[in-house]
């Protein structure tokens, strides 16, 4: 989870050399941001902390931060302070949406780790989406999707258990849901519907996404079907709201 990281460097600024103090402070902080010493999602130290660090007044620090804000290197979060914004990924939602392809298209390195699998009775909502009776057993596969090692999504994939006996083992053996489905003869599937809402994550889910529980996520609920239109999967994916921009292709 992001946190303040004061005193990353004990930078000294030079007086009487023709370069204003606020510009020197801006360049010092800019260097730390671009080098990764202050990372995306991190809060900047407070104005008071920075003023003490550079031995200047808070007005000088404020002007340096304002300049960084104009350059898009930092942003203000009301009631919390100034932070380094995340790199936003454009996630295309289309007929065939695959996480790895969507991330790779943005020149980022994708990865999806299976973190848990279980079998339970279907709720009314899951049953309706999958075209089964309420209470019929479903397999839930939970994955965390990352880009360049940074969590982007937490997804719950639901499948009818008796339709895919041994699905959990197939996923463990292959390390991929798509590869596991191929062992059952499912080589292609498409998205039928997608519904997106904004909500707050649970504390546990926020930790898995490496974000504060007070920061909203984009909840995408989707139904995937086989090429003949039969319901295949009901999915619920939580995307980090400040790391992902969803684009719907018509």
State the residue range of the domain holding 111: 89-248
- Based on the fold, state whether residues 140 and 109 are members of the same structural domain: yes
Confidence of residue 87 (pLDDT cuts 50, 70, 90): confident
Q: Is the pLDDT of residue 242 over 90?
A: no
CA atoms in the 13 A half-sphere facing the CB of 236 = 14
pLDDT tens string 7-45: 445 566 788 777 899 999 999 999 999 888 998 878 899
Report the CATH number that the domain containing residue 184 is assigned in CATH. 3.40.1410.10
Average pLDDT over residues 165-186: 95
In a domain, 120, yes or no: yes
Confidence of residue 111 (pLDDT cuts 50, 70, 90): very high
pLDDT of the residue at 11: 61
Task: Kindly state the DSSP code that residue 58 receives in the 8-state scheme.
Answer: H
Q: What is the mean pLDDT of the chain?
A: 91
Cβ atoms of 44 and 83 closer than 8 Å = yes
- pLDDT more than 70, % of the chain: 95
Q: Is the pLDDT of residue 235 over 90?
A: yes
pLDDT of the residue at 103: 92
Q: Is the pLDDT of residue 97 over 90?
A: no
- Based on the fold, state whether residues 110 and 223 are members of the same structural domain: yes
Domain boundary among 56, 83, 110: 83
- Based on the fold, state whether residues 70 and 102 are members of the same structural domain: no
Contacts of residue 159, defined as CB under 8 A and 6 or more positions apart, other chains included, come to 130, 138, 139, 141, 167, 232, 233
pLDDT of the residue at 249: 78
Task: Kindly state the DSSP code that residue 121 receives in the 8-state scheme.
Answer: E
- Based on the fold, state whether residues 139 and 237 are members of the same structural domain: yes
- Based on the fold, state whether residues 123 and 177 are members of the same structural domain: yes
- Based on the fold, state whether residues 121 and 65 are members of the same structural domain: no
In a domain, 8, yes or no: no
- Based on the fold, state whether residues 51 and 95 are members of the same structural domain: no
CB atoms within 10 A of CB 32: 19
pLDDT of the residue at 212: 87
Report the CATH number that the domain containing residue 49 is assigned in CATH. 1.10.10.10
């Amino acid at each position: 989870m992001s946190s303040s990281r004061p005193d990353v460097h004990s930078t000294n600024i030079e007086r009487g050399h023709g370069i204003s103090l606020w510009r020197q402070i801006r360049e010092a902080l800019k260097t730390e941001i671009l080098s990764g010493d202050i990372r995306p999602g991190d809060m900047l130290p407070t104005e008071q902390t920075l003023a003490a660090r550079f031995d200047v007044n808070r007005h000088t620090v404020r002007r340096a931060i304002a300049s960084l804000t104009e350059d898009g290197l930092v942003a203000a979060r009301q009631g919390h302070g100034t932070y380094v914004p995340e790199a936003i990924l454009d996630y295309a939602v289309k007929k065939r949406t695959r996480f790895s392809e969507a991330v790779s298209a943005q020149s980022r390195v994708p990865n999806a780790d299976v973190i848990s699998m279980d079998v339970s009775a279907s709720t009314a909502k899951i049953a309706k989406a999958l075209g089964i009776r309420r209470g019929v057993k479903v397999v839930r596969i939970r994955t965390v999707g990352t880009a360049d090692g940074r969590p982007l999504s937490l997804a719950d994939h639901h499948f009818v258990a008796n339709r895919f006996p041994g699905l959990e083992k197939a996923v463990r053996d292959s390390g991929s849901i798509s590869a596991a489905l191929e062992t059952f003869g499912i080589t292609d599937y498409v998205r039928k519907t997608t519904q997106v809402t904004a909500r707050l994550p649970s504390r546990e889910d926020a930790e898995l996404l490496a974000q504060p529980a007070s920061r909203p996520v984009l909840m995408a609920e989707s139904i995937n079907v086989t090429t003949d239109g039969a319901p295949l999967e009901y999915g619920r994916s939580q995307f980090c709201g400040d790391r992902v921009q969803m684009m719907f292709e018509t």
